[in-house]
Amino acid sequence: MTTRAAESHARVRLIVKGRVQGVFFRRSTVDTARTLGLTGWVRNLPSGDQVEIIAEGRRRDLESLVAWAHTGPPGAHVESVDEQWSECRMEFNDFRVR
């Protein structure tokens, strides 16, 4: 990856808290991320009210995913989204549920 390309790509880890389990949040995240051309994964956390997302791709597309995560799919009620940004590691080939 060129320096210019590396600068436009990033990685974000999201912890989405609220009514986010049992409302197709993970499946909707996969659909949204794939539409945006992102790679990574999403999983439920044992707390029962949190979902973790790791995504990589173009920063502007990641920002779109973050904006979507603040609302989520119909039936979800998002209370908070914790974001942690870092450098893209080019670690994933697709986006899936873990």
Residue 2 has pLDDT above 70, yes or no: no
The domains of the chain are located at: 3-87
d(CA 47, CA 79): 14
Residue 3 has pLDDT above 80, yes or no: no
Topology of 3-87 in CATH?
Alpha-Beta Plaits (3.30.70)
Q: How many other C-beta atoms lie within 10 A of the C-beta of residue 64?
A: 17
Active site residue 89: no
Active site residue 26: yes
pLDDT digits 0-9 by tens, 7-27: 599 999 999 999 999 999 999
pTM of the model as a whole: 0.92
State the catalytic residue, choosing from 43, 44, 58, 96. 44
